[in-house]
A = this chain, B = another copy of it.
Amino acid sequence: MRWQDNLTVVLVETRNPLNIGAAARAMLNFGFTRMVLVAPYEVAFQEARSAVGAASVLASARVFPGLAEAVAGCTLVVGTASAGKRVFHQPRHLLPEAASRLRAHLERERAALLFGSEKFGLSNEHLSYCQWTVRIPTNSRCPSMNLGQAVALCCYEMARTTASGQAKGSLHRRAAADQLERIVARLSGVLDASGYINLRTRRSHLLKIRRLVRRLDLSPDDAQVLEGMLRQIDWKLARDNRKSGP
């Protein structure tokens, strides 16, 4: 069993079908599949079911009249709530820490993560089922998040632990010194032919060009392309010079 299958996302009294659909899609984006709805607006749920994008999550979503039945079987129940001026009776954890606690739990046992209605959030009654709550660290001037976005953030943060583990640094290959030096030579030639380089300051110009080409931090492929461009420009300038003569 995958750890994601141990999570139940519980939407309580959701009103907007678009939010149900958006929540389902965000779950799937991060590999979660179990959704439960508590007392949703009937119309909202029907409309959401007919939406595309996350059909599998919505098709298997279960509906309960009350929260108690919805979270039965979960050994950890966690509520989400925006900051505001509310008094909380449960411990609160910021999302990054909350997600890693949830993740650790989900590796072994089932947990429920609760999201309240768009208008009122989770009531104190709802929160009373929770061991602790999550605070998403939003700006105090606009603390309340869109429901679908809050679900997305929580799912992302739980999945993130491994995701960032897999993140590899960008170890892309670099052009070799001799290849770079050919570019320096070509570019100098082109600039000579164009009258960009003053003869008196030629030596210092060459150093500047060499340093510039080093700074470009070229890959072997890009170096080859650039060399080809310069070769063609060089050829064209030489031909024109022969044509127009001294």
Determine how many copies of this chain the complex contains: 2
On whether the beta carbons of B29 and A94 are closer than 8 Å, the reply is no
Which residues of the other chain, B, contact A236 by a CB distance below 8 angstroms? 193-195, 237
Q: Which of A5-13, A60-68, A70-78, A225-233 contacts B (4 or more CB under 8 A)?
A: A225-233
On whether the beta carbons of B232 and A29 are closer than 8 Å, the reply is no
How many angstroms between the C-alpha atoms of A24 and B25 in the bound complex?
A: 20
On whether the beta carbons of B149 and A22 are closer than 8 Å, the reply is yes
Which residues of the other chain, B, contact A94 by a CB distance below 8 angstroms? 163-164, 166-167
Q: Which of A29-44 contact B (CB under 8 A)?
A: 29-31
On whether A232 and B148 interact (CB within 8 A), knowing A139-B30, A156-B136, the answer reads no
Using CB atoms, name the residue of chain B closest to A140. B31
Set B97, B215, B237: member contacting A240, Cβ < 8 A:
B237
How many angstroms between the C-alpha atoms of A219 and B22 in the bound complex?
A: 39
Which residues of the other chain, B, contact A113 by a CB distance below 8 angstroms? none
